[in-house]
């Protein structure tokens, strides 16, 4: 990408999109197009096509989509399936029709089998049953992975790049307790428990599942790296993007409790689901090209918590 290349970030206000916007601006890119959901509904094919016809972006980062934790996935699976497939289908079709140079799409580690050998290699996709609590979202994201590969194959191109990051976190994450992911939910739970002087906090599951967390800024850097090294990527495969280090949910809860200053007791409701036992990606394929994560979980939690406190106070 040249510094004056026309870039479009779909979903620029979200966790990854906002990190990308920041990183791109810091790197000197100025010709960046964004649209709010009100300004452009990506599930509307006609509006998406009209936007691409008018703006003709050269590079597209498809960060937009409907995401959520276990509760949201169990409550609204049809919404997760329809919304994500609609966005992907409309943007891919317009990107091909209006001849963009490259597009980065983001898959999900939820697409890998529930009982997967660890660390998870790219070739393990489709090799087993996926976790039922995230089935609809995972299928939609898998469809996007296949779509990128299909467009590249049919049109003999390498335009469509698929990165598959593990659990992302950072500033601008969703901290709503009804539909947030585990790390953001824990930050808010412990923060509120401390502020009201709770003596104990009850968390879902056993705390035993292990998760790999990757800072959104690192995924943003990986995205820019992928765009600038597109000719070195294999157009028929996706690339895992992770930190390379996992921890148990119980360990994560302990770190966040210490960070927030919660001194009470932590109890685990084992009647609630745990989800997949472990999700640690093997990101060596992408790392060998020259990228690696730089933000440790401790540093990332510090940054995320400071952002949460500042913004939570403003909104409440």
SS3 272: coil
- Do 59 and 1 touch, CB atoms closer than 8 A? yes
Domain-located, residue 135: yes
Contacts of 47 (CB under 8 A, 6+ apart): 40, 41
- Do 219 and 168 touch, CB atoms closer than 8 A? yes
Domain-located, residue 187: no
Residue 232's domain is classified under what CATH number? Answer: 3.40.50.720
Residues 227-261 pLDDT 10s: 999 999 999 999 999 999 999 999 999 999 999 99
Give CA–CA dist 56/98, Å, rounded. Answer: 7
Q: How crowded is residue 310: how many other Cβ atoms within 10 Å of its Cβ? A: 10
Catalytic-role residue among 29, 124, 137, 151: 137
- Do 12 and 21 touch, CB atoms closer than 8 A? yes
Position 315 scores a pLDDT of 66
Give the DSSP letter of residue 112: S
Closest to 69 measured CA to CA, from 186, 231, 208: 186
Domain-located, residue 264: no
Residue 285, phi then psi, degrees to nearest 5: -60, -45
Domain-located, residue 119: yes
Query: What kind and span of H or E run contains 105?
Result: strand 102-106
| Residue ranges of the chain with per-residue pLDDT less than 70 | 69-73, 313-316
Give CA–CA dist 168/48, Å, rounded. Answer: 27
Q: Which two tokens stand for residue 256?
A: 């966040």
DSSP string, 117-179: -SSBPGGGTTSSPPPGGGHHHHHHHHHHHHHHHHHHHHTT---EEEEEE-EEE-TT----TTT
Position 181 scores a pLDDT of 85
Domain-located, residue 162: yes
- Domain range spanning residue 284? 7-173+213-245+280-295
What domain count does the chain have?
1
Domain-located, residue 195: no
Contacts of 271 (CB under 8 A, 6+ apart): none
20 in the Ramachandran plot: left (φ > 0), alpha (ψ -120 to 50) or beta? alpha
The separation between CA 125 and the C-alpha centre of its own chain, rounded to angstroms, equals: 17
Domain-located, residue 221: yes
Position 205 scores a pLDDT of 92
Q: How crowded is residue 248: how many other Cβ atoms within 10 Å of its Cβ? A: 15
Position 273 scores a pLDDT of 81
Q: Give the chain's radius of gyration (CA, Å).
A: 19
Position 132 scores a pLDDT of 82
Position 19 scores a pLDDT of 98
> Is 137 annotated in the active site?
yes
Q: How crowded is residue 39: how many other Cβ atoms within 10 Å of its Cβ? A: 9
Domain-located, residue 2: no
């Amino acid at each position: 990408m040249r510094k004056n290349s026309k870039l479009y970030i779909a979903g620029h206000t979200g966790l990854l999109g906002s990190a990308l916007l920041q990183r791109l601006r810091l790197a000197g890119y100025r010709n960046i197009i964004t649209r709010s959901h009100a300004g452009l509904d990506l599930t509307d094919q006609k509006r998406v096509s009209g936007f691409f016809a008018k703006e003709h972006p050269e590079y597209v980062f498809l960060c937009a989509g409907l995401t959520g934790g276990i509760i949201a996935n169990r409550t609204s699976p049809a919404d997760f399936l329809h919304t994500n497939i609609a966005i992907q289908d409309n943007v891919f079709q317009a990107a091909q029709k209006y001849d963009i140079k490259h597009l980065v799409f983001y898959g999900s580690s939820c697409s890998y089998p529930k009982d997967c050998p660890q660390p998870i290699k790219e070739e393990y996709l489709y090799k087993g049953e996926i976790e039922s609590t995230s089935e609809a979202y995972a299928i939609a994201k898998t469809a996007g992975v296949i779509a990128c590969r299909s467009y590249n194959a049919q049109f003999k191109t390498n335009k469509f790049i698929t990165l598959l990051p593990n659990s992302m976190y950072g500033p601008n994450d969703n901290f709503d307790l009804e539909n947030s992911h585990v790390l953001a939910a824990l930050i808010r739970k412990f923060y509120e428990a401390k502020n009201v002087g709770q003596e104990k906090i009850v968390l879902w599951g056993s705390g035993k599942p292990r998760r790999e967390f990757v800072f959104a800024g690192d995924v943003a850097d990986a995205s820019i790296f992928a765009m600038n090294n597109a000719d070195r990527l294999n157009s028929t495969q996706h690339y895992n993007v992770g930190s390379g280090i996992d921890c148990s949910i119980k360990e994560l809860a302990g770190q966040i409790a210490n960070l927030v200053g919660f001194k009470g007791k932590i109890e685990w409701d084992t009647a609630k689901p745990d989800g997949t036992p472990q999700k640690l990606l093997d990101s060596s394929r992408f790392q060998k090209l020259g990228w690696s994560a730089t933000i440790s979980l401790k540093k990332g939690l510090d940054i995320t918590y400071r952002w949460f406190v500042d913004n939570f106070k403003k909104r409440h």
